């Protein structure tokens, strides 16, 4: 029976329409197949992008020269010293004997009944901390006091702490010192006596030039508690519990004194961390090239290359036996990436000036399937004979032939190559040279102030009054006050003040045209530097790189814009004017692969472009599907209307036929033969 309303005709409208629509829907099936194919390609490109990103991460880590120039430093007795090394270390065995460890000075105040009770009147008081060397005289270990000693500032700068009615207790003083961050740690110790609370001060830095001198200006009670001048027999309110001390040791029999137990400038490229003395029993430190790290790094490079090569090959392969193509087969973006990667490998590394320019020279060869193979014996031979040149095959490397010229950096615009260097002017520091010997007597309010202009920053300093024993001692005082000035500390600028034949020279610690050091006023200007001091401006280094005028900033020269050397930056620390040799700059394979991967993965790269193209196609397919779906809906509606009408016509015809048959039968009954 038919399901459409009306008179039944045995016409199966639903089945007829369904079969017709299955034919009409064939274009929709084709669209679905296209969409599935595009979605699969998107997935394949996503997998490729992930693999390329992993490859980039691996090779980026290998573009650092330190991966190929490591050294192993092994102490025979790790309880005495621990050590590490850098690329500049020279292999060998060194004898170490430690007689003293560096230590920081510690001072303790007289005991107080309470750590919270107020001390003094609460009047604003300034604690001035200077750091320097205590010499001569005698030290009483029982009292912690010096007799007949001298104190010479180290010139690092005087630091100040303000005490007033808000913090004039022992606990308040402790907190104020710690908050000021002046290089001194304050604590309170309870010694169990009737007046048990003692302020303990520890200098953060070790070394004999880090002893404290504390001047107190303001409240008398605070001055009695905290004033500390080791050069004044009666001006030491604090007792020294631990003396500042340098580390004393010998390396291969050479006596050495250092302010810290961490030393990086004794054995070139080696950092020592002294932990214990071993006087009379020297121990050995062995420095050797870390060949295992180089082998591991080369292995990572080969593995990473083989993984990306396999991913590219598999994603675009065609199996002739099964006649099955990989999802990215025929994709031009895949072929482009694979071609560019192989192109990098096929070219030698330019500009390095080292022994190796191709991977085959250290045992890496390409196989028929495009993968890499590593000959470990050949790699080991290269390591044994030309260890320092291996880095140039992988990392970015800059080398200067002149020992006083140092490669600093380069940019993405710097082309590999060998560039000549010619220096026409060395960098200098700004300074002021006195015109007469400095007066050694400083009188408060009369000649104790200086207005200093240092590297473009101005500050006024006040010197300690008194008669200085030597011009060198006065120079140290001036330097200390300059380097401790708040304005200079905040700007990160500093100066060195020296004395020669009684004449003071103030020199900026910066190089170049931004460097300047002059006295612009103050009551002590003439007394210290004379009436006609000479001010000398700092100069930038000048010269050419690759024959083109380079940009000078301080001691640095940078390659000119538009030249192949653009962005190449070198530091000239001394030497002569004129030709200064060559600068070799190379970009190893790991660096080139990193750069290539960055391009491929970028928003303008082939993967992004192809992904955008596929997404556009998917959007177009979605629009086509919607149009086709709408048309199919109308078509089915029309078919149903047509076949329903046909059904009704057939039904009526059937009814008419039945009626006529009945009528004819009736007529026959009325007229029997």
Q: How far apart are the first and last CA of the chain?
A: 39
- The pLDDT assigned to 673 comes to 55
Using CA atoms, how far apart are residues 498 and 477, in angstroms rounded to an integer? 10
User: DSSP strand E in 89-196: where?
Assistant: 92-100, 106-108, 125-135, 138-140, 145-147, 150-153, 159-163, 184-190
CA-closest candidate to residue 344, choices 565, 599, 610: 599
3-class state of residue 598 by DSSP: helix
The pairing of beta strand 150-153 with beta strand 71-75: unpaired
Number of CB atoms found within 10 A of residue 519's CB: 22
- The contacts of residue 23 (CB under 8 Å, 6+ apart) are none
Query: Which sequence spans correspond to the domains of the chain?
Result: 13-55+605-670, 71-101+247-289, 106-242, 291-395, 405-427+541-587, 431-536
Three-state DSSP class for residue 382: helix
Nearby residues of 252 by Cβ (< 8 Å), 6 or more positions away: 94, 95
How confident is the model at residue 671, as a pLDDT? Answer: 63
Ranges in the chain, pLDDT < 50: 1-7
CA distance 1 to 11: 7
Could you list the beta-strand ranges (E) of 154-253. 159-163, 184-190, 197-203, 211-217, 239-242, 247-251
DSSP 391: G
Instruction: Identify the burial level of 140 via C-beta atoms within 10 angstroms of its C-beta, where 0-12 means exposed, 13-18 middle and 19 or more buried.
Output: exposed
DSSP string, 40-68: HHHHHHHHHHHHHHHHHHHHHHHTSGGGG
How many CA atoms lie within 13 Å of 410's alpha carbon, on the beta-carbon side? 25
Distance, in Å, from the CA atom of 538 to the CA atom of 47, rounded to the nearest integer, reads 57
Q: Whose CA is closest to 93, among 223, 288, 362?
A: 288
Query: Is 333 strand, coil or helix?
Result: helix
Q: Say how far apart CA 129 and CA 181 lie, in whole Å.
A: 12
Per DSSP bridges, beta strands 578-587 and 503-508 are unpaired
What kind of architecture, by CATH, is found in domain 431-536? Answer: Sandwich (2.60)
DSSP secondary structure, 428-445, as one string? ---EEE-SSPPPSEE-TT
Strand partners, 418: 584
Do 524 and 443 meet the contact criterion of CB atoms below 8 Å apart?
no
316 close to 330: Cβ distance less than 8 angstroms: yes
- 241, β-bridge pairs: none
**C-alpha to C-alpha distance for 623 and 626, rounded to whole angstroms:** 5
* Residue 212: strand pairing partners: 131
Contact 185, 204 (CB under 8 A): yes
The pLDDT of residue 450: 96
Relative to beta strand 125-135, strand 150-153 is: antiparallel
Rounded distance between C-alpha atoms, residue 442 and residue 634, angstroms = 106
For tokens 């809906």, name the residue.
633
Task: Write out the two tokens for 575.
Answer: 């030497």
Angle CA 163–185–276, to nearest 5: 160
The most distant pair of C-alpha atoms in the chain lies apart, rounded to whole Å, by 167
What is d(CA 203, CA 186) in angstroms, rounded to the nearest whole number? 9
Cross-strand pairs, 500: 503
Single pTM value for the model: 0.75
Contacts of 383 by beta carbon, 8 Å cutoff, 6+ apart: 289, 291, 294, 295, 390
């Amino acid at each position: 029976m038919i399901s459409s309303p009306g008179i039944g005709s045995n016409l199966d409208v639903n089945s007829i329409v369904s079969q017709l629509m299955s034919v009409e829907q064939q274009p929709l099936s084709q669209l679905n197949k296209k969409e599935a194919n595009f979605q699969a390609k998107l997935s394949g490109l996503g997998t490729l992008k992930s693999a390329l990103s992993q490859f980039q991460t691996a090779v980026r880590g290998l573009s650092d020269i330190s991966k190929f120039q490591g050294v192993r430093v092994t102490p025979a007795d790790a309880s005495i010293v621990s050590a590490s090394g850098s690329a500049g270390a020279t292999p060998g065995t060194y004898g170490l004997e430690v007689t003293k460890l560096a230590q920081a000075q510690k001072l303790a105040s007289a005991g107080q009944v309470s750590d919270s009770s107020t001390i003094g009147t609460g009047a604003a008081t300034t604690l001035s901390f200077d750091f320097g060397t205590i010499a001569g005289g005698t030290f009483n270990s029982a009292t912690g006091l010096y007799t007949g000693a001298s104190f010479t500032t180290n010139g690092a700068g005087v630091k100040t702490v303000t005490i007033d009615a808000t913090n004039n207790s022992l606990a308040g003083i402790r907190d104020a010192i710690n908050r000021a961050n002046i290089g001194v740690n304050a604590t309170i110790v309870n010694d169990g006596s009737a007046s048990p609370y003692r302020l303990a001060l520890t200098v953060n830095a070790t070394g004999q030039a880090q002893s404290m001198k504390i001047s107190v200006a303001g409240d008398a009670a605070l001055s009695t508690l905290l004033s500390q001048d080791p050069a004044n027999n009666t001006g030491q309110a604090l007792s020294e519990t631990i003396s500042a001390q340098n580390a004393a040791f010998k390396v291969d029999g050479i006596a050495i004194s250092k302010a810290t137990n961490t030393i990086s400038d004794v054995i070139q490229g080696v950092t020592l961390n002294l932990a214990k003395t071993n006087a009379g029993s020297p121990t050995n430190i062995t420095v050797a090239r870390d060949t295992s790290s180089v082998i591991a790094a080369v292995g990572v490079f080969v593995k990473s290359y083989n993984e990306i090569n396999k991913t590219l090959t598999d994603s675009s392969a065609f199996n002739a036996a099964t006649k099955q193509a990989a999802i990215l087969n025929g994709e031009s973006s895949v072929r482009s990436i694979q071609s560019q990667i192989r192109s990098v490998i096929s070219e030698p590394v330019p500009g390095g000036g080292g022994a190796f320019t191709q991977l085959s020279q250290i045992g890496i060869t390409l196989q028929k399937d495009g993968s890499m193979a590593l000959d470990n014996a050949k790699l080991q031979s290269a390591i044994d004979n030309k260890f320092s040149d291996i880095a140039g095959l992988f990392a970015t490397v800059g080398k200067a032939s002149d020992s006083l010229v140092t490669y600093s950096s380069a940019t993405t615009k710097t082309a590999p190559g060998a560039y000549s260097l010619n220096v026409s002017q060395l960098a200098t520091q700004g300074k002021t040279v006195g015109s007469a010997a400095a007066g050694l007597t400083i009188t408060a309010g009369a000649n104790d102030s200086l207005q200093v202009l240092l590297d473009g920053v101005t500050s006024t300093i006040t010197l300690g009054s008194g008669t200085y024993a030597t011009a060198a001692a006065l120079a140290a005082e001036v330097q200390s006050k300059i380097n401790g000035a708040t304005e200079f500390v905040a700007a990160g600028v500093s100066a060195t003040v020296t004395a020669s034949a009684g004449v003071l020279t103030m020199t900026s610690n910066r190089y170049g045209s931004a460097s300047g050091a002059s006295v612009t006023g103050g009551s002590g200007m003439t007394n210290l530097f004379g009436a006609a001091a000479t001010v000398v401006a700092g100069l930038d280094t000048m010269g050419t790189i690759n024959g083109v005028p380079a940009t000078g900033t301080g001691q640095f020269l940078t390659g000119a814009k538009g030249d192949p050397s653009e962005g190449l930056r070198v530091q000239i620390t001394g030497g002569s004017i004129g030709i200064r040799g060559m600068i070799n700059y190379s970009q190893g394979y790991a660096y080139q692969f990193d750069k290539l991967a960055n391009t491929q993965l970028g928003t303008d790269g082939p993967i992004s472009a192809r992904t955008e193209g596929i997404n556009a196609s998917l959007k177009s397919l979605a629009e086509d599907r919607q149009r086709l779906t709408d048309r199919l809906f109308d078509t089915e509606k029309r078919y149903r209307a047509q076949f329903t009408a046909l059904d009704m016509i057939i039904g009526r015809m059937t009814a008419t036929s039945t009626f006529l048959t009945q009528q004819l039968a009736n007529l026959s009954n009325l007229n029997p033969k």
